[in-house]
Structure 1
Amino acid sequence: MRGQLFKLWDRIRSSFWFIPALMAAAAVALACLSVIIDEPITQWLALHFSWTFTGGAEGASAVLGVIAGSMITIGGVVFSMTLVTLSLASSQLGPRLLRSFMRDTTTQLVLGTFISTFLYCLIVLRTIRHGEDILFVPHLSVTLGVLLAVMSVGVFIYFIHHVSVSIQANEVAGRIGSKLIEGIDSLFPSKSGQEEPQPPVKLPDAAFFEAFDQEARPISACGDGYLQFIDAETLLALAIEEDLIIQLQQRPGNFVIDSCPLALVWPGHKVTDKLIGQIQLLFVLGRQRTSGQDIEFEVNQLVEIAVRALSPGINDPFTAITCVDHLGSALCRLISRDIPSPYLHDHQYQLRVITAVDTFPGIVAAAFDQIRQYSRSSAAVSIRLLEVIAVVAGFAQRAEDRATLLLHADMIARGASEGLPEPQDRLAVEQRYQKVKTSCREQA
């Protein structure tokens, strides 16, 4: 159930219709409520509040008609500007970033503001009565319509500013970098120093894993798509309830093909059709990757911006350097955190679930490999890559992490020495490479 709720919420967040639809419904309710309140107190309002609308039925109809027509026109302009922004972002920064722009709450609120103001004026307009015997002018409702129109003008001015800022490459990279750091804090939390030490857990020996591989039964996927979410808590509870050991074969972000194994269940003779259905529901598949449990999703977005900036058609090393800086900031936090254990246990410290976790070498490879490959002929980007690696190495606490960073520094320096024709550029790269080696030795 949690997985399906995650998928539904992700779709809602990535849609243009949800927040405008809520605001439109609120506008309809406000219009009905204001008219109900307005009718018994309309004369009292006219006598005691000079700032309220005091015109007749014709004037009220004209005001509301002008506001409604203006709002739907500006709403069309906002929608057109949004489509232009999406088109520009797709061509310059990458199509994978469209979801980030579609999730922009500001754009959704702006669209909702104009649509809700239009609906409010339209509903209030139909309550105005022009008959000779029956005359009703909702002064309070018309006044609220004017206030909404004034607010909408301010929202439109802010939207123009927001679009001009949000489309800038540095701003986009900064937002993605912040989300990447949030993901690291969520998936790799730092220790507070006040946590109670956990008793040592005895892991199964090699003989068990050999028997596990022979006797475990695979649970296959029932469709194609990217693995977006795994409900590990429910999976652990199910393993405890059924007295099973479950080993995951996929991790969030992997593309899963129909009938490929999602997990292995031991002992295999306990697997039933009901259990297969329960486990399959805990794996959420979709057409694209999401950032919920996939730490490499934001990494790949920054890499995509950097690689596009390094293409001959754009040739923008400054944007690539900005992306490298944000990747380095995230890796500095990641390298100081403990990678969660893939082994999940019950309260008696019995092994129940073996997960497929992200590793520091894998994340570093996702961050640096493609940028390194496309920046062989760019001295500025190669130098910045080595400078960032030297900074990250200063936060390293494990020897294997330093070895991973040094390996990537070796590849960057070797690629730059082959791709840079100028001796001075190669010398600058070599100097930064020596700083990486010194930083790794100092932390050893």
Structure 2
Amino acid sequence: MNKLYTKLELLYSRITGNVAFYPSLIAFMGLALGFLMSYAEQQGISKYLIDTVPALVINDADTARTLLSTFIGGIFSLMVFSFSMVMLILNQASSNYSPRILPGLIANKRHQVVLGFYIAVIIYCIIILLSIEPEQSKTQLPGFAVLIGIVLSIHVLAAFIYFIHSISQAIQINNIIDRIYNVSRHRIQQLIDTESDPKGVAVFNDSDSWQSYTTKFSGHLNDIALDSLVDFCNEHSCKVSLLVPKGSFVLDSTKIVSVNKDLDEEAIEALRSCFGFSRSEIVKNNYILGFKQLTEIAVKAMSPGINDPGTAITCLDYLTELFVLRMQKRDNSFVTDKDGNALVSLRTINFEEVLYFIFASLRQYCKEDFIMLHKMLQSLRYLSTSDALKDEYTEDIINQVQLIIDDANQFIKNESDLAILNKVASEVQAS
């Protein structure tokens, strides 16, 4: 039963995260509204309205068919135009910024709702158009349903205007960076808020000798059914330690989890069912991807083809804020039972790894640019003086400062520039 519940939980997560989920749901609502109005017309709603409020009813069959046919063709044209424009914008974003940001733009729920509304109105108009017969009398004509179609079509025009405004805002680099930052910040804050002081964590210090189990799938580990893992641990009286971080790409037959006892085949399958894999990365599930995306945008901005140091500096400002927030999070995470006992140890990417790989990418592509090297040192100086700084992170920051100075000494030839960089570096090391 737990295995079935876990599969349903992971299936629900995948379905609701699919780009087609909201358009399909709204399109189904349009289908349901069409049949509902057809039923209402059979019950005589138009006849009642002709007798009470005749101005609300379309009482000519040719006019009704012409209107509905025009709406269907017009909305099809708007939909094709809208999403042809989306494809062009996505291509531009991929070329100018980073291909990694495309899933976030495509998964924009507001754009999905607009697409779903287009489809829903088309389906509704088709159903009502099919219900109009050539020889129908005024009282049999679905006049009120046609009026609803007119109202919905007017709203389609409003949705189209909103869509044009929204997509033009979404593609602006400042808004892209801000969205990535906000999603990452929200995810880190969630993890910080849920941290506690669990009991019995010492047992995980010996997890290297535990029995390891592999996965039968490959892809990004985006979904972990933590409640099901806790139930699994309680049911089998065991402890579980994850060997790969959430969001990492896992190859088939890779060891992803270790358990402090041997399990039978049925238990192993139940354990594997707690993990969900997909072929795409999702920032809201993995804040590290937010760091990567901001870094890649900064690196792309510094390329000779783009040459946009302002964007790179903005990305570094946002990265600095995320690093300050990341310093408040513990490097070890555990999932506990209701009594606070640690049952599951989550593999996390520690602060040193995040700091090193982000600044390594920036150093590689910005090592000849004085402005970016100076900005990177200023960022590290801010981290070194932050109230969130922990003692164990001080050495990591100083190591990055030294690496930047080493690159500067090798690639910056101007003595005045080197003097400024060394001054900032000495301030960081002194703090």
- TM-score scaled by length of structure 1: 0.86
CA 1:63–1:434 in 2, change beyond 3 Å: closer, same or farther? same
- Taking the aligned partners of 1:285 and 1:412, their CA distance within structure 2 comes to 37
CA 1:190–1:51 in 2, change beyond 3 Å: closer, same or farther? same
- Listed one character per residue, the Cα deviations across residues 117-140 of structure 1 (whole Å, up to 9, x for unaligned) are 111111111222221778732221
- Taking the aligned partners of 1:356 and 1:323, their CA distance within structure 2 comes to 27
Amino acid at match of 1:312: P
Q: Name the counterpart of 2:302.
A: 310
Q: Name the counterpart of 1:229.
A: 223
Q: How far apart are residue 173 of structure 1 and its match?
A: 0.7
Q: How far apart are residue 267 of structure 1 and its match?
A: 3.2
CA 1:38–1:251 in 2, change beyond 3 Å: closer, same or farther? same
- Taking the aligned partners of 2:204 and 2:188, their CA distance within structure 1 comes to 31
**One of 32, 36, 41 as aligned partner of 2:35:** 32
Q: Name the counterpart of 1:63.
A: 67
1:424 aligned onto 2:416: yes
Aligned residues: 425
Q: Is the 8 A contact 1:389 1:436 kept in 2?
A: yes
- Taking the aligned partners of 1:10 and 1:182, their CA distance within structure 2 comes to 21
Q: Name the counterpart of 1:279.
A: 271
Q: How far apart are residue 204 of structure 1 and its match?
A: 4.7
Q: Is the 8 A contact 1:4 1:284 kept in 2?
A: no
SS in structure 2 opposite 1:331? helix
1:321 aligned onto 2:324: no
- Taking the aligned partners of 1:327 and 1:25, their CA distance within structure 2 comes to 42
Kindly report which structure 2 residues correspond to 1:131-280, keeping only aligned pairs within 5 A, or say none.
131=135, 136-189=140-193, 201=200, 203-204=202-203, 209=206, 213-214=208-209, 216-268=210-262, 271-280=263-272
CA 1:23–1:213 in 2, change beyond 3 Å: closer, same or farther? closer
CA 1:199–1:419 in 2, change beyond 3 Å: closer, same or farther? closer
Amino acid at match of 1:229: D
Q: How far apart are residue 297 of structure 1 and its match?
A: 1.3
CA 1:399–1:325 in 2, change beyond 3 Å: closer, same or farther? same
CA 1:352–1:150 in 2, change beyond 3 Å: closer, same or farther? closer
CA 1:4–1:408 in 2, change beyond 3 Å: closer, same or farther? farther
CA RMSD, aligned part only?
2.8
Q: Name the counterpart of 1:123.
A: 127
Q: Name the counterpart of 1:91.
A: 95
SS in structure 2 opposite 1:188? helix
Q: Is the 8 A contact 1:245 1:353 kept in 2?
A: yes
Amino acid at match of 2:182: S
Q: How far apart are residue 380 of structure 1 and its match?
A: 2.1
- Listed one character per residue, the Cα deviations across residues 179-209 of structure 1 (whole Å, up to 9, x for unaligned) are 1101101222278xxx9xx687572598xx3
1:332 aligned onto 2:332: no
Give the unaligned 5+ runs of structure 1.
none
Q: Name the counterpart of 2:359.
A: 368
Q: Is the 8 A contact 2:223 2:276 kept in 1?
A: yes
Q: Name the counterpart of 1:18.
A: 21
- TM-score scaled by length of structure 2: 0.89
CA 1:329–1:38 in 2, change beyond 3 Å: closer, same or farther? same
Give the unaligned 5+ runs of structure 2.
none
Q: Between the two proteins, what is the percent identity of the paired residues?
A: 24
SS in structure 2 opposite 1:219? strand
SS in structure 1 opposite 2:67? helix
Q: How far apart are residue 342 of structure 1 and its match?
A: 4.4
